Amino acid sequence: MNPHPTILVVDDDEAHLYVVRRAIERMGLQAEVCSARDGGEALRLLGLQPGEIGALPDASVALVMLDLRMPGMTGWDVLQRMREAEATRRIPVVILSSSDRPDDVRRSYELGANSYVVKRYEPDEPGRYAAAAARYWVELNQPARGSDGGTSGRTHGGGTGAGGLVSARM
């Protein structure tokens, strides 16, 4: 079993998946990076949809980084399914999108996103913005603790909307 947390990056753009993975490695973040190329694959990996792909262990998924616009199932569809399911509702979700449209940001938070980061081109340090967001959620964020002293999830205190959530534009 891998002792490191898992970051699931969901994007239909292979180049962006590569840039994010490499940026996380360069930052030295102790995490396993898995990728899904569409919403259906992400749901299968999260154990929310049956399929040929086996689900990742529940406890290992520390973060989902999710693109909004993908063929078939959108990032919003994945986010909504995650928030409806008990097993995934408390996993932090960072939207990584090329859109900076206020309606896209608002809708993402209304559906339960924890953070919204706009993709950008950084020639000197490609993907640094994504790695910094991942580092926050995996290393720096203090998750809520249950009454038994254990974590009751790896995310904000629950709920949806922007109250209590972190918005990041790095």
Average pLDDT for residues 94-110, to the nearest whole number? 98
Instruction: Give the domain ranges of the chain.
Output: 6-140
Residues across the chain: 170
What is residue 146's predicted lDDT score, i.e. its pLDDT?
57
Which CATH number among 3.40.50.2300, 3.40.50.300, 3.90.650.10, 3.40.50.920 corresponds to the domain 6-140?
Answer: 3.40.50.2300
Q: Which residue has the tokens 């709920």?
A: 159
Reading the block at residue 167, the tokens are 């918005």
Per DSSP, which regions of 43-132 are E strands?
A: 61-66, 93-97, 115-118
Higher pLDDT, 147 or 49: 49
Reading the block at residue 114, the tokens are 């924890």
Q: How far is CA 42 from CA 142, 164, 168, in A?
A: 25, 26, 23
Whether residue 164 is predicted with pLDDT greater than 50 in this model: the reply is no
Q: How far is CA 49 from CA 55, 76, 85, 153, in A?
A: 9, 16, 11, 21
**Mean pLDDT, the chain, whole residue set:** 84
